[in-house]
Structure 1
């Protein structure tokens, strides 16, 4: 079992796919199929959802994320050290990051040419003689996933469509082509994350999680999950890169707990992304005794949204670090539509209207079931206050 599997196995081995009757009825399902612990249910997504608000955007976003996920998986199978760069902030970037961003951006441009994009990467490291080797690998990779071949210039331009500044007016997409690059390099958890922001609010989110188990109590079973949510329509999951274009989806919901002593944390593997020590203190205040699930990327949102864990903590490790909108856009709406809440360390909702970052927020990100969110925020504030004394 890999280290990633071991980390996952510390958590809830019997995944809690408990959907409340209220949630089921709110979906207005036309059948009475019994929900099971399987990833799929017995019928496709209800037709009323497929024909409503942002239906085209939903379908295109799923197509883009699935295509980018295939690109990432292809790269991992033949990944070599020379295909990895290190940015100034010490974070690694692979040919898959560039390739996935080019693929997603080109698909979005095809269907929504007027929509700008806030993406994590830019093409500066791919230019000139110094970037030639990596550039050629990226172009080759992109052309395995596109309908028509793209030239080098077209690939670079597609990547750089992600340089939009963001803001509070109009609509734009935000993309993290590989969230959790270190997890990707380890062969563990990473996610392709795409969200649509309209007038400063996330309205649509898609997460592609190629290595996430379809069932957390079957770690050696099938892997690869796609989660999607549209504002007001609930959150759903299905197999990633399913063969059928009519792949069935199942609603997901956060676990129905009212007492934090029953809860399980979900936190980053990398201590640089969150303070594990602070998390342990918060766990004590909340009477949590179960070990945390530690996984990379927005897969943490996925785990909490479908009830594998109950609380996601990403506490500030630096007074100068500001969270980026692409790190939270898709996960934020999936959590909300699954019955959870997401906020900063003060409990304020994440503000996606301030540009490329969450600079309007107070730092950190906490996600939990709505029933326990306020209690968790209180414990967070107590811990941080004690730390500052």
Structure 2
């Protein structure tokens, strides 16, 4: 896949940075979350978010020191809590890529705790429609992460308000598109974990691709294309697990209006974008229950581009283009409708009829 030089490097750095952060979150899950009885303690999530953010931002600063980063976390909690800070640093300091040359491209290991804290705090960009801004969600899908289901590390480069590079690290999505999508740790029974873990990436105008998370050195990318269902009756859609995040009842009414009979694929995080881009489902609906709610732009930048480059269309629920130049939220938009380009218009008509009313 031939890329213009300026974005070829951005995609490579972003892909490796997301891979390294994904390896880190897996360490957090297996050492602090897996096998716990109670999920009330949010410290594993905190440790996962902080460390992943530090690793990704450090790689961006090393390669593109003039770029801005907008990310979800800041380090004040770690600075005031030495015990928590030490937990994060202990795991961060152990993470590296399998290939030493690729790890070196990211600047190698963070040198100390202060470097970790400074990297976390470099994610304070307010966004906007001028310049180069990386939008990062270090762990999108908190509950999916805790239950051993779907979560994602989401990283997108926005230049002058347009998403030009997108990378999603999905450690619990299968590489094989015929495999079952897990939703929890119990779903893993009878499934080979070796087939789990994928990184999706896209560059504007140059398509989307998938590669195994566990890849060693060498090209193993495969182009991806959204499937066009033969009819809407055989299409499937995906939505969030939590009804508090989007309106399941309205989404059910939309499916019925379209004649869709298959039950929805429910999973957490921006992995939903990857699922439809890969052809594991066809339609992604996110209809807010509260019209005052504004989506964080880091939750959608990478997935938006991956779906677009895989042959899909993404708008808000009223058919407006998704505007990533309004700051740290999608302030000009309400909801998300993503589908193959050939059926997006029909899906949007049903959304307007049900949700618009």
Quick check: TM above 0.5? yes
The alpha carbon displacement at 1:249 in A equals 1.0
Alignment of 1:2-151 (within 5 A): 46=1, 48-49=2-3, 52-80=5-33, 84-85=41-42, 93-128=45-80, 131-145=81-95, 147-151=108-112
Where does residue 297 of structure 1 map in the other structure? 269
Cα 1:82/1:134, change in 2 over 3 Å: farther
Where does residue 204 of structure 2 map in the other structure? 231
Q: CA separation in 1, counterparts of 2:75 and 2:42? A: 12
Provide the aligned C-alpha RMSD in A: 1.8
Q: CA separation in 1, counterparts of 2:252 and 2:347? A: 13
Query: What secondary structure does 1:342 align onto?
Result: strand
Q: Is the 8 A contact 2:58 2:110 kept in 1?
A: no
Q: CA separation in 2, counterparts of 1:282 and 1:257? A: 17
Q: CA separation in 1, counterparts of 2:158 and 2:179? A: 35
Where does residue 103 of structure 2 map in the other structure? none
Cα 1:53/1:183, change in 2 over 3 Å: same
Deviations 1:85-137 (A, max 9, x none): 38xxxxx9420110000000001111111111010111122122xx2221111
Where does residue 37 of structure 1 map in the other structure? none
Q: CA separation in 2, counterparts of 1:149 and 1:225? A: 25
Q: CA separation in 1, counterparts of 2:5 and 2:122? A: 28
Alignment of 1:190-205 (within 5 A): 190-205=151-166
The alpha carbon displacement at 1:312 in A equals 0.1
Within the alignment, does 1:364 sit opposite 2:335 as a pair? yes
Q: Is the 8 A contact 1:179 1:193 kept in 2?
A: yes
Q: Which has the higher helix share?
A: 2
Q: CA separation in 1, counterparts of 2:125 and 2:356? A: 37
Where does residue 206 of structure 1 map in the other structure? 167
The alpha carbon displacement at 1:183 in A equals 0.2
Where does residue 189 of structure 1 map in the other structure? 150
Q: Is the 8 A contact 1:174 1:197 kept in 2?
A: yes
Query: What secondary structure does 1:256 align onto?
Result: coil
Where does residue 250 of structure 1 map in the other structure? 222
Query: What secondary structure does 1:236 align onto?
Result: strand
- TM-score, normalised with respect to structure 1: 0.81
Q: Is the 8 A contact 1:84 1:95 kept in 2?
A: no
Q: CA separation in 1, counterparts of 2:110 and 2:65? A: 19
The alpha carbon displacement at 1:317 in A equals 1.4
Q: Number of residue pairs matched?
A: 330
Q: Is the 8 A contact 2:200 2:209 kept in 1?
A: yes
Within the alignment, does 1:311 sit opposite 2:262 as a pair? no
- TM-score, normalised with respect to structure 2: 0.88
